[in-house]
Amino acid sequence: MNEFLDSCYDVIKVQEKSITDTIKSVDVNNLSDIVGKRIVLIGAGDSYAVSEYGKWVFRAIGLDAISLSPPEVIHVPIDSETVVIGVTASGRSRSTLDSLEKTRAKGAETIVLTDESEGKACEKNSNLWVTKANVDSYNVSPASPTTTAMVYLLAIAAEMNSPLQSSLQRDIKQLSKIGESVLDWAEHEGKIISKLVTPGPPLYMISDGPNYVAAQIGMMKFNEFAVVKGVASLREDFCHHQNLSMDDGDQAILISGEEGPDDERYMKVLTEVLNMQAHHLHVPKHLGLKTAFAQTIPNTIALQMGSHFAVRRYKPDMEWFRMPHAKAFKIY
């Protein structure tokens, strides 16, 4: 038994319950925090991917939303007509805290989307959107805090009037019922992915739109465990650029919502023309999720599972993360 890896697995498995708990906890009164505002979402690491997800969800329902890395806020107009949503699961990311303070000084309203209501980020922010990740520590791979933050943003969007409202509400209702099925499917896919992965060649995670967020998180999960180098690649950009640096036998995961004819053609190019070891990750129909925004959630969990089973396979005695960057840059 490996206590560290067991803890990492637990924060993936808990999503069977935490997604439902988060949906139930969303306060519809929070809608007033963002109506009529320019929305800037910021976050670092996994939380940056969450901010990208929020951008997709909010823009899809007609809101003026962008996502930025925290230091980038100095390059956009910030004033009293702006609301800045700082995503930080643990409430302690230094760059996010600093950027929230700077944008408040310019008159922006600030919101903290977090799982830790007692975290440092909450001290000066009265507007809190709190998830229910059901984790005991933020020092292991942040699986549940990441997806529950995405679910929280999706649930907020589903409460707002838009042409997508009925579809989003249906998917939110479905997500609240299928936790066990999602985790069973994700674990199955994760084991397939882990058998595809070998140390050495890079692992390309290819997608676009909301599901590119799953690719970004997958990249971070594989890099986090230092088993294989993950590369998130936009689907069209891969066609133009990424393949120039490829070798036979490189690895790829094509990530999409539901399977379509374009996916089949793309997979044939990856496997038959480029000679890659490839897997198509897509959400099965039996999960009943119709929008790409909802389908991104199980795809993300499957990639979390894939990285976990890969490290179980190649580094079963791993006791902790390699953290040279976290220590060198003092990110917390």
Residue 326 falls within a domain, yes or no? no
pLDDT tens track for 115-132: 877 767 667 666 899 999
Same domain membership, residue 137 and residue 37: yes
Regions in the chain scoring below 70 on pLDDT: 1, 119, 121-122, 124-126, 137-140, 242-245, 322-332
DSSP state, 273?
Answer: I
Same domain membership, residue 123 and residue 54: yes
Residue 324 falls within a domain, yes or no? no
Q: What is the pLDDT of residue 319?
A: 84
Same domain membership, residue 149 and residue 209: no
Pair 190, 218: CB distance under 8 Å? no
pLDDT tens track for 252-292: 999 999 888 899 999 999 999 999 999 999 999 999 999 99
Name the nearest CA neighbour of 224 among 332, 280, 303, 149: 303
Q: What is the pLDDT of residue 247?
A: 78
Q: How many structural domains is the chain composed of?
A: 2
- Alpha-carbon distance of 212 to 205, in angstroms, equals 9
Q: What is the pLDDT of residue 134?
A: 85
Same domain membership, residue 145 and residue 44: yes
Q: What is the pLDDT of residue 293?
A: 98
Burial group, residue 255, by CB count within 10 angstroms (0-12, 13-18, 19+):
buried
Q: What is the pLDDT of residue 82?
A: 96
Q: What is the pLDDT of residue 331?
A: 57
What contacts 136, CB < 8 A, 6 or more positions away?
none
Same domain membership, residue 190 and residue 165: no
Residue 327 falls within a domain, yes or no? no
Same domain membership, residue 209 and residue 112: no
Same domain membership, residue 185 and residue 133: no
Residue 330 falls within a domain, yes or no? no
E-state strands within the chain: 38-43, 65-68, 82-87, 109-114, 127-130, 203-207, 230-234, 251-256, 277-282
Query: Which structural domain range is residue 45 located in?
Result: 18-175
- Alpha-carbon distance of 92 to 156, in angstroms, equals 24
